[in-house]
Structure 1
Amino acid sequence: MDGKDDTKRGKIRTEAELRAERLARTLRDNLQRRKQQSRARRAGEADEAMGLPAAKKDESDA
């Protein structure tokens, strides 16, 4: 192996490590955001509505 290959492989490995770190950070941020959304939903009152409030009744029964 000559020195250029080692340097090139080291650079690729480093870029892959940086990419993995960015991915891990993005996944952590996404998980934190989803946890926060879940906590916010639990903090509110239970939704007791049946169906969609804006939906119209079926007119074919008339």
Structure 2
Amino acid sequence: MAEARNTGSQQGSREERLRAALRANLARRKAQARARADNEEQAETAKSDTGETEGDE
């Protein structure tokens, strides 16, 4: 039963850890989205430079 009760400082430190984890996760997701967008843009640029279209194989 003692484990079920959290003191104010324990609850606060848990919330801080969760906030930090959420911020790190958001930053990682944003970086992944930027990398995907950059890769798509580079692929489109390369296709236009070679004269290829999406239907060409």
Choose between structure 1 and 2: higher helix proportion: 2
TM-score band, normalised by the shorter chain? 0.7 to 0.9
Structure 1 residue runs without a partner (length 5+):
47-62
Count, aligned residues: 46
Q: TM-score, normalised by structure 2?
A: 0.76
RMSD over equivalenced CA pairs, Å: 1.0
Q: Relative contact order (alpha carbons < 8 A, sep ≥ 6): 1 or 2 greater? A: 2
Runs (4 or more) in structure 1 with deviation over 6 Å come to none
Structure 2 residue runs without a partner (length 5+):
1-5, 52-57
> Based on CA coordinates, which of the two structures has the bigger radius of gyration?
1
Percent of matched pairs sharing the same residue: 9
